[in-house]
């Protein structure tokens, strides 16, 4: 695990631990206990806030909102027990491949 990955893995571990915590004592536990629809709603809200911050162009707002987005994406992963390493592996697989070529290689539905 690289130094960059350490904080994401650490946050993910806390999220996993909070699955068994009281919703009264933990925002993360309450979000997980409210279920997938609430998690997805929060993730969508955070994505929108990143877009707004990006449009505003204020570096500190972009950083803050992106951290919120990453956190809520980790909550989604935690809900499904998908370790961040699975995401890193997928990014590694795609690295060096043209986005156009990668998209064309996906199975058509």
pTM: 0.85
Mean pLDDT on 13-26: 95
pLDDT at 105: 78
Mean pLDDT on 25-45: 97
- pLDDT, averaged across the chain: 92
DSSP 7-69: HHHHHHHHHHHHTTS-TTT-HHHHHHHH-HHHHHHHHHHHHHHHHHHHHHT-HHHHHHHHHHH
Query: Structural domains in the chain?
Result: 3-104 (1.10.287.1080)
Torsion of CA 96, 78, 51, 108, to 10 degrees: 50
pLDDT at 97: 79
Q: Which residues contact 22 (CB under 8 A, 6 or more apart)?
A: 29
Across 22-31, 58-67, 76-85, 97-106, least confident range: 97-106
pLDDT at 26: 96
């Amino acid at each position: 695990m690289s130094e960059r990955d350490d904080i994401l893995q650490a946050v993910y571990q806390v999220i996993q631990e909070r699955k068994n915590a009281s919703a009264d004592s933990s925002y993360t536990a309450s979000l997980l206990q409210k279920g997938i629809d609430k998690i997805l709603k929060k993730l969508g809200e955070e994505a929108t806030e990143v877009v707004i911050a990006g449009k505003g162009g204020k570096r500190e707002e972009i950083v803050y909102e992106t951290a919120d987005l990453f956190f809520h994406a980790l909550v989604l992963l935690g809900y499904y027990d998908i370790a961040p390493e699975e995401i890193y592996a997928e990014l590694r697989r795609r690295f060096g491949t043209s986005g156009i070529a990668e998209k064309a290689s996906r199975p058509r539905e």
